[in-house]
Structure 1
């Protein structure tokens, strides 16, 4: 599959190249923006926003509603059916959800969380996420960094969390674990989505590419995550990430916290793709809980259209990411 350079971040990293395109037609000639929606996440739940989808039925319906508003990729964490306050380690749950989403949204790109390494809360190991690989999503997110952060989780007495709890989160992944994860993904035909949480991760990603650990025939798909706990959410940090992005890369931006939508607006202006959804932020504006993931997608689509940036259809998103036709085996 030939790689179209107009979709790659390197085409917009040089200020002169950017200006030549931007000055003539604003954002209208920039690539269509791939809007990803992270519907659930693996941390907060209905205790934080009662509209956050946890059950399979809720996740299917909210994916469909977000898809109708313009999302072309859905990022999924499955919860335990018997305890939706935690993520599942059962691949059959992912397989069933993927099947049901494909039936309702035939051409949406399904992205299951894979992570790839080991993570813990307050020193207690959490279930591995690479169980989602055999469910054969088209894309799987892999965190290639190592990080720690603190997070306040609201109490949920019915599932053993009687009060608000400050949790110390730790994630680690070594090179052997990462290479094993990428090998498993290749076996099942799953495209990696590299999640980066720090500017230094770009050097590690470049090394992986130079060592031949990625497919040179399709673009690398990167989600750069800007969160107050790990990376400053400032224009200069985003510009630095763009300047140092490896070649042959399509770049998506994730932002959390109070500056989420202003930061994503900047990403739209700079030619990046964007992600929204209740995993990243469950407020639609200050002090107002989101009614649904669709509402969050509608907001970023509206911002993009006001700026003049086109939104990618699922077919365009597949072309941009180097994916083939939708999977039909389910």
Structure 2
């Protein structure tokens, strides 16, 4: 098997500050969380920003630039900036920071979908900020818009014009076929890095059968011109990403995807999750890829060609 890529998603836009005191909020917290994850073995850092005043997901370039230079100066990890942002943001807002930073990688969501977070609101009894409860509860009527036109815009503005490669986030079988469509249109070239996403209400359930079926269809559509990684929400994180490692895939951890390190125990840092999955995959005989190896594997342009 090839060397395994560990991605760490440091803070995301799903969890709210009331869910964990360890969720990175400020620029320094996000930077330290990312650098710690890189030191633990994460070669790719998947990055969102937050408003440091209240922890709300932010698309403001200034919030991103509060931590991106720090991470680049202190780490060789590949910086992967989300173009998904939050489902409540417009496409223009979601693209503002990536267009400014011109990173080596961006995420790209491959379909419009429901993105329901409202069940989480019932588990919180004390709220730190007044935006959190309406944000979560309002997701019962939220559509995460990613139309073919949106995707083509991102591929053009971030890929063609700025040389970024993509983490193609696929929450459903249909998203694989949409990616094939863009390959056929000539807007996407290999090697592809596809992130199978499980456990978000509105996307695929976290069933092992769904993972094996996703791999089967991806093999059919892309042959050997792709690599896959797995992320899974909450308590499903470690079991499904371990399965990915067994199947020859790559893995993603981080407080964006799960706030826990074990049942009932909050993770205090992103690095804890990186170290846990690193132990697991190395015990399985997989060797962890370095950032330099990932750049070669995915055909990235190099950190020196970014605007960070």
Same fold (TM over 0.5): yes
Alignment of 1:319-330 (within 5 A): 319-327=296-304, 330=308
Separation in 2, partners of 1:51, 1:223: 25
* Alignment CA distance shift 1:308-1:48 (3 Å): same
Report the equivalent of 1:54: 25
- Whether the 8 Å CA contact 1:145–1:173 is kept in 2: the answer is yes
Report the equivalent of 1:143: 109
- Whether the 8 Å CA contact 2:44–2:78 is kept in 1: the answer is yes
Separation in 2, partners of 1:325, 1:164: 37
Q: Does residue 1:313 correspond to 2:258, yes or no? A: no
- Give the SS at the match of 2:3: coil
- Give the SS at the match of 2:245: helix
Separation in 1, partners of 2:53, 2:264: 31
Runs of 4+ in 1 over 6 A off after TM superposition: 124-127
Report the equivalent of 1:211: 185
Separation in 1, partners of 2:302, 2:115: 39
- Give the SS at the match of 1:212: coil
Report the equivalent of 1:232: 205
Q: Does residue 1:222 correspond to 2:194, yes or no? A: yes
Q: Does residue 1:179 correspond to 2:152, yes or no? A: yes
| Larger mean Cα displacement after TM superposition, 146-155 or 204-213 | 146-155
- Whether the 8 Å CA contact 2:234–2:260 is kept in 1: the answer is no
- Whether the 8 Å CA contact 1:139–1:191 is kept in 2: the answer is yes
- Whether the 8 Å CA contact 1:114–1:140 is kept in 2: the answer is yes
Report the equivalent of 2:46: 75
* Alignment CA distance shift 1:232-1:52 (3 Å): same
Is there any run of 5+ residues in structure 2 with no aligned partner, and where? none
Alignment of 1:264-275 (within 5 A): 264-275=241-252
Bigger strand fraction: 1
Deviation at 1:164, TM superposition (A): 9.5
Report the equivalent of 1:166: 137
Q: What RMSD, in angstroms, separates the aligned Cα atoms of the two structures? A: 2.2
Q: 2:165 aligns with which of 191, 195, 206?
A: 191
Separation in 1, partners of 2:113, 2:135: 23
TM-score by length of 1: 0.82
Q: Does residue 1:113 correspond to 2:113, yes or no? A: no
- Whether the 8 Å CA contact 1:253–1:275 is kept in 2: the answer is yes
Separation in 2, partners of 1:177, 1:165: 25
TM-score by length of 2: 0.88
Deviation at 1:139, TM superposition (A): 0.7
- Give the SS at the match of 1:83: coil
Separation in 1, partners of 2:163, 2:254: 26
- Whether the 8 Å CA contact 1:34–1:274 is kept in 2: the answer is yes
- Whether the 8 Å CA contact 2:235–2:260 is kept in 1: the answer is no
Separation in 1, partners of 2:204, 2:180: 19
Bigger helix fraction: 2
- Give the SS at the match of 1:251: strand
